[in-house]
Amino acid sequence: MALTEDRVKEVGRRILASITGEPSLVNTNDDAGVARVGDLYILLKIDGYDAKSSLYPWCTLGDLGFRAITSAVSDIVAKGARPLFYAFSIGLEPSLALDEVEMLLRGIGEAIRFYGGELLNADTNISDVVWIDVAVVAVSSSPPITRRGVLPGSRLLLPKLGLPYICYYAHYVKREKVCRQEPACSTCCRPLTNPRIPEVLERYRHCIRSSMDISDTLSETLYELAELNQLVIRIDAAPGDLLRREAAEFIRREGLDPLKVLASTYEEYLPILVVDPGCVRELLKELRNIGLEYMDAGHAEEGAPAVLVGEVPLPTARWSDVETLLHTQ
């Protein structure tokens, strides 16, 4: 049986919990670890990529470095925290040219400058494949938002989605080596989260029940929220209405199913927000003010864990399945 990320997580949680105990503030499957220090909450996140499964052929090693920082920061942002300090470790193939290494490091530095904070430590290794691990230390004055806490009647706020799926389809389905669909190409090479999200989430912390960033597929993210909270998550909006204009136009040209595209889009790096109904209007306004297009897309209700679009189950789509396939080819 092939080694999968899910199997590793299952074993890891069991073993580590038996040795160190469960974390006191967040569950082991949450976005970041948290410790309270005085009146502040200190968060720690580590995330990693390898070039084989993460670098589109039209992207550069500089893009890989930038994207790795974004991935780690996105989890911090979803908690409502601000990044303070960074450390990274990189694996470099012996055949790389020095200017390629410089490109990778430049991408890391550009992302840190964009999100704010200070680089404290770095480590280099020679490896059979290019990889990067990023650690971020962050701070919040309010209790970090967890993945649990959803109540029946809570509203589901989703950003407009779909650009990363264009890249996925172009490369993994059509086997294209050149991306011709802007702004999707740029978005996939250097995805961004919005560094102003924590200030909005802090102002509305009292009515935000749960938050989780969309790094794996939207399907995985919503099903995990449903399972953790033992509730039904029902999307009320039509799938096409939740897609970015460019994504909607692309799937019409390609004859794709909007529901499947919605389920499969990944690496959006913006948080799903589950909130009390009373603050939906003002929170959507605040998110628009920082340049984000969110929708009141659905709600949570009592029932066995499920994710429904109207009355239809959201298709299951897992990025880890694609990643496992790539490493076994």
In this structure, the strands spanning 306-309 and 232-235 are: parallel
Domains along the chain with CATH numbers: 31-140 (3.30.1330.10), 155-328 (3.90.650.10)
Contact status, residue 178 vs residue 295, Cβ threshold 8 Å: no
Contact status, residue 7 vs residue 13, Cβ threshold 8 Å: no
Report how far residue 103's alpha carbon sits from residue 100's, in angstroms, rounded to the nearest whole number.
5
Report how far residue 130's alpha carbon sits from residue 53's, in angstroms, rounded to the nearest whole number.
10
Identify any residues that bridge with 211 across adjacent strands, giving them in sequence order: 273
What is residue 17's predicted lDDT score, i.e. its pLDDT?
66
Q: pLDDT digit string (tens) for 185-226?
A: 889 999 999 999 999 999 999 999 999 999 989 999 999 999
pTM of the full structure:
0.89
Q: pLDDT digit string (tens) for 9-45?
A: 666 667 666 666 655 444 445 778 888 899 999 999 9
- Amino acid occupying residue 63: D
Q: Percentage of residues in the chain with pLDDT exceeding 70?
A: 88
Q: pLDDT digit string (tens) for 255-296?
A: 999 999 999 999 999 999 999 999 999 999 999 999 999 999
Half-sphere exposure of 17 (CA within 13 A, CB side): 13
What is residue 172's predicted lDDT score, i.e. its pLDDT?
85
